[in-house]
Each structure stands twice: as C-alpha cells, then as structure tokens.
Amino acid sequence: MKADRVVILDGYTDEPAGLGVPPYINTYPRLVAGVVWLKNKSARVRYWTIDQVRKDMSSFLEESKRADLLVVIAGSEVPGKYIGGVPISYYELERIALLLRDTRKILVGPAAKYGLASGGGSLALDPVKFKHLFDEIVPGDVEIYLDELLEHGFEKARPWILREKYDLANRAFIVGARIVQDHPCYGGNLIVEIETYRGCPRWITGGCSFCIEPRYGRPIIRETEAIIREVEVLYEIGVRHIRIGKQPDILTYMASDIGVEEFPRPNVDALEKLFRGIRLNAPGLITLHIDNVNPGTIAKHPAESMRALKVIVKYNTPGDVAALGVESFDPRVVKLNNLKALPEESLEAIRIINRVGSVRGWNGLPYLLPGINLLYGLPGETKETYVVNEEYLKRILSEGLLVRRVNIRQVSVLVNTPLWSKRGEVQRILARHKNLFHAHRVRVMRFFDRVMLSRVVPENTILYYIYTERHIKGFTIARFPGSYPVAVKIPGRVELGRYVSVRVVKHASKSVLGELLNPNLPVSYNSN
C-alpha cells in the first residue's frame, strides 16, 4: 500500500500499564511513525492530538482527506480525571470517521481489543461497534500490522498478530522517536512513556479479574540495550522527562522466572544495568520516574525488593510514585477477583517503600512513595468492604506512613477480560452501593487525603521546578512533570508554560495552595 502521507490522531490512552494523556505520550505514536518511516523515509507523517482537533477541526479534516492513511489511537481504559487533556469519546470517534468516510483509516490501541471505556462504573463499548467506521480494527500489535499493511495491503495484513519479540518494535521506536517533537507539550512538560516489557507475570493464574495486561499472555521482555538506546535518542532530540512506566511491575523486569512463577524474584542486577545505563546516556534528565509495582512481589520477596527499590531511588528523580494498585483491602474481594496481594501484604509493601523512598529530594518531594488504588464494583463487594478499606487507611495514618495518593474509583468493565462475563453482577453492585460509594469518597477526602498531603508536602515546603499548566478561575495550576504529581494552586494568572518555585501555605484534599517565589514573574489577578 502506498503511504506518502499519513495522519496520526492520538485520542489518548490510559491502560493499567501505560499512559498517553498529556503531558504523557504513549508508545503507539512512535511505533506508527517509526514503521511508516522505515518503509518510506520521505513519507510525511502528521501527528494530531484530539484536543488539537477540537480546536481546529477544519484543518485536521483537510489534512486527513489528503492523506493515504489515517491511524486513530484510542483506549482510555482506566477510569481517571486529567488536567492535561480529555480522551476521545465514541461520539467524536464516530463523527470524525463519518466525516472522513473516503479516507482509508484504522483504529489501534486498547480500544481496538478491549473496547472504549467511558469512565468508572461503565461498560466498555465493544470494538464490534466500530467496524463500520474503519477499514480495519487492529487488536494486535500496531507495528506488525502496519508493516504488513504497507507491504501487502489491506487484503493480506493480519490485524490480530501479537509480537513474539521486540525486533521490529525496537527499530520503530528509534526511527519514530522524532514524532514526539510534534506533541503540543514538547519543549515543556512532555513525559515520554517507555516500554520495558509487555504482559503480566500473573498471567499463569489469570491475573486480576478486570485487567487487560494478563490477556497478552506470556510476558515478552525488551532488551536492556534497546531501552537505553531509545532513551538516548529521545534525549538527543530534547526530551527531558522520561517514565519507565509501560509494564505491570518494574521490579520483575528481566526476572529469571518471569512467565513461570506468579510472583517472580526481582533481578536487582538487571535493574541496576537498566537505570545506570539510562543515566549515563541521558545525564541531564530532569524526570526519571517509574509507574507500576506489584505489592505481592514485595511481600513474597522483601529482601530482593528492597534492594531493587534502592536501585530505583539511586537513579530516579524525586517525586516518583510506585503505583501499587491494591484495589481492595477486603480479603473476600481479593480472593474472588484474584487480586495481587492480601491486605497485610499490601500494608507491608507500603512500609518497605517508605523505608527506602521517603527521604526528600532537591525539588522538595520525597524520592519514591507508594500510590494506592481502591476499586469498587468488583464481585464480592459488600457494605463491609467500605469499612475494611477505611480501617486500613486509618492504620496507614496511625503508623505515620506516607502515601502519595489514594485513587478511589469504580471499575470499568472491559471486553475480553474475566469481568466481562460478570458485567451484570458488577452493574448490580454499582447500583446498590451508589450512595455508599459517594459518601465513602467524601469521608476519605476528609479524614485521609488532606492529612496525608500535609505529610507529603508540609506547610512551608519549597517546591522547585513546577510547570504552570492551566488557569482555573482565579488560580494557576502547576505541577512537577512526573508520576502522579502534586497539584499546586497559585493565586492569580501566571503565564502558562513556565517553570516556577512555590512555598506551600495551605492544604486541600487533592491540591496545595502555593505562594509564588519568582518575584520578577508577572501575575494577573483578573479572573476573567
């Protein structure tokens, strides 16, 4: 297939392993651009975010109509709220596809395999509903399908094929790296998500009932040298914020028994080689963060996990978060949904991360703290679940432990996960506990969130290098580029796209009030 002009529409992705909502860019745009340029060095590849399309639909449509191929990336599968952007909706997906009915187009990303979720407590829209809108829905790996498509055309390209090794992906990541320069956050707070392996080590037992990662089968590990080389190339073109975030558990990267044991033993030497190599080849990185850590790994292998966490803290930048994904402290919910760890195991994982990572760094933030998700609507949930979860949060407070954040969410039920077959039960639980859920969330904000935030960033803490992102009413919202950053509200309208320093003066449940410490920076106090 001829592809001299290709348009990429990034509708944003949010997966259990991998984030692509601004200021993040996920792996998919680089894979798409990389394969196109591997096939045709002179091809014109144009990258649009869905937010850019919303602002200038006519230019996007005009450019897409002239393109040989439109690649739409979609799949915000994890319920969340975002400051940097709003993921594409089904209505927008349908409208764009119909307006470009004469343009060859494909849908890639999580939505192509697991459906399009629309927030917590929702059932995903089955990918079958998109078939009439696209020339192809690609549930497999985009780089393999696109390589076959450009070589053989739509008739022979296989959309379901999954990679068995990273050879093509590694080349595409390198060649496609420069597409990040077209992202609206490039040159500012852009954070590039880096993949280390794909698939969950717990796939041998089925993994968590709601999660998509175990559905990829046996984990496929990416070579250390390839990861380091990709970061080096990104660094050479100006990227300064990196997250090693696209994997279910960073502690099990290169573990010798991954794919054999449900909880592999951390390979500390491999992590040392990876993070040391990144630092040597990208010495001026401002952000080097991780994402997911399995609390079950820490509980089963405490000594090795502590050594592995020390390696991460040795090379990372402060403000990092190990997202544990506890999901529930209710043993019944844990058992019925095959969750990662029992309640006491999760609590011990929180303690161990605190021992290693709670020291404060140059930007005013602790180096590495745990993050907790509490997920509601899962089979086995009762009114007692809410009581148990609150009791464990109170224990965390009473022990003086630090937790960067607690996300309280309702489950999204995705196609091709075990929970999909129980979607009726989930809907009944969500409906039955609707009022209980909202009251619980408010209680946690009152007794936990504000207190915890005041411990993580106490009053008079100086926060350096936070980036001004949005104006909301009479305030400027600023955050450090990285994993689950603290939101700082600065009175007045500070110019956006600037790095500033603030002194923490007050705490809310989800943000802090900051006094600007840049005396020469103009501030407008007109809220209009």
> What does the pLDDT look like over 244-274, one tens digit per residue?
989 999 999 999 999 899 999 999 999 999 9
Specify whether 327 is located in the same domain as 366. Answer: yes
Digit-coded pLDDT (tens) for 166-220 = 999 999 999 999 999 999 999 999 999 999 999 999 999 999 999 999 999 999 9
Q: Is residue 167 part of a domain?
A: no
Q: Is the pLDDT of residue 445 over 70?
A: yes
Same domain flag for 438 and 472: no
Average pLDDT taken over every residue of the chain: 96
Query: Do 118 and 247 fall into the same domain?
Result: no
Mean pLDDT, range 368-377, rounded to an integer: 97
Does residue 484 sit in the same domain as residue 447?
no
Number of domains in the chain: 3
Assess if residue 295 is contained within a domain.
yes
Contact in structure between 4 and 68 (CB atoms under 8 Å): yes
Q: What is the pLDDT of residue 525?
A: 75
Judged against a pLDDT cut of 90, whether residue 136 lies above it is answered with yes
Phi and psi, residue 325, nearest 5°? 55, 50
* pLDDT tens digits, 31-73: 999 999 999 999 999 999 999 999 999 999 999 999 999 999 9
pLDDT digit string (tens) for 266-304? 999 999 999 999 999 999 999 999 999 999 999 999 999
With a CB cutoff of 8 Å and minimum separation 6, the contacts of 89 are 118
| Domain C-terminal end among 439, 456, 473 | 456
Q: Tokens 């402290």 belong to which residue?
A: 329
Final residue before a domain boundary, out of 411, 428, 456: 456
Q: What are phi and psi of 299, to 5 degrees?
A: -65, -40
Strands 320-323 and 220-221: unpaired
Contacts of 59 (CB under 8 A, 6+ apart): none
The CATH number of whichever domain residue 51 belongs to comes to 3.40.50
pLDDT of 527 higher than 60: no
pTM for this predicted structure? 0.96
Q: Are residues 416 and 285 part of one domain? A: yes
The pLDDT value given to residue 519: 72
Strand partners, 14: 19, 76
Question: If you average pLDDT over residues 473-488, what whole number do you get?
Answer: 96
In a shared domain, residues 119 and 145: yes
Q: Are 420 and 433 in contact (CB under 8 A)?
A: no
Residue range 508-512: average pLDDT? 95
Write the CATH number for 231.
3.80.30.20
In a domain, 401, yes or no: yes
- SS3 per-residue string spanning 375-436: EECCCCCCHHHHHHHHHHHHHHHHCCCCCCEEEEEECCECCCCHHHHHHHHHHHHHHHCHHH
Residue 428 lies in a domain: yes
Helix (H, G, I), strand (E, B) or coil at 168: helix
pLDDT at position 79 is 77
Structure tokens at 226: 């390839």
CA distance 272 to 183: 31
User: Given this model, what pLDDT does residue 259 score?
Assistant: 85
Six-digit token string for 137: 């829905």
| Domain span including residue 221 | 190-456
139 and 260 within one domain:
no
306 lies in the same domain as 359:
yes
CATH of the domain at 499: 2.40.50.140
Q: How confident is the model at residue 119 (pLDDT cuts 50, 70, 90)?
A: confident
- 164 is a domain residue: no
pLDDT of residue 526: 66
Reported residue count of the chain is 528
Q: For residues 366 and 5, what is the distance between their CA atoms, to the nearest angstrom?
A: 46
d(CA 451, CA 447): 7
Same domain for 476 and 449? no
Tokens 């936070």 sit on residue: 466
pLDDT of 403 reads 98
Averaged pLDDT, 99-116: 96
* Whether the predicted pLDDT of 397 surpasses 60: yes
Residue 528 clears pLDDT 60, i.e. is over it: no
CB-count burial class (<10 Å; 0-12, 13-18, 19+) for 352: buried
Q: Which helix (H) or strand (E) holds 107?
A: strand 105-108
Please check the confidence at residue 324 and state whether its pLDDT lies above 60.
Answer: yes
Q: Within this chain, do residues 373 and 242 fall inside the same structural domain, yes or no?
A: yes
Domain stops at, among 456, 486, 502: 456
Measured CA to CA, the distance from residue 516 to residue 489 in angstroms comes to: 10
Residue 131 · residue 94 · CB < 8 Å: no
pLDDT value at 367 more than 90 = yes
pLDDT on residue 205:
95
Residue range 77-100, pLDDT digits in tens: 887 789 999 999 999 999 999 999
